[in-house]
Amino acid sequence: MNESRLRGAHLTGTVCLTGGGVGMGTDARDVWATSFVLDNEMVLVLFTSPSGLVLGEVTVVPEWTSRLGQLDSATVADAFASSNGRIIGPTHGPSPASS
């Protein structure tokens, strides 16, 4: 992970996504999500194990930012792809069944 993205960021919360938590305990089956509002108004979510191993991450663009203006269904996929370094697109139904 590139920690420089966290300069100027605000930690907004941490939650266990799989049932563990404060007062309940946690183990290697749990996945935690920690969110940050970055200085560019995007939201970074880190997915970690209880030991602190980073399992994944995603950056999400809010529906409105001062930099991008208002997103809509036509622009949100491009904004997501741009902020996460990959191309995504609409799905066109189920994939063909393998023979």
Would you kindly state where each structural domain of the chain is located, as residue ranges? 3-61
**Is the model's pLDDT at 90 over the cut of 60?**
no
* pTM assigned to the model: 0.74
Which pLDDT score, from 0 to 100, does residue 18 have? 92
16 pLDDT more than 90:
yes
Q: Is the pLDDT of residue 92 over 50?
A: no
Q: What is the pLDDT of residue 96?
A: 46
Nearest Cα neighbor of 13 from 22, 25, 5, 4 is 22
Instruction: Tell me what pLDDT residue 24 has.
Output: 80
Residue 75: the pLDDT is 87
Helix, strand, coil fractions of the chain, as percent rounded to 5: 15, 30, 55
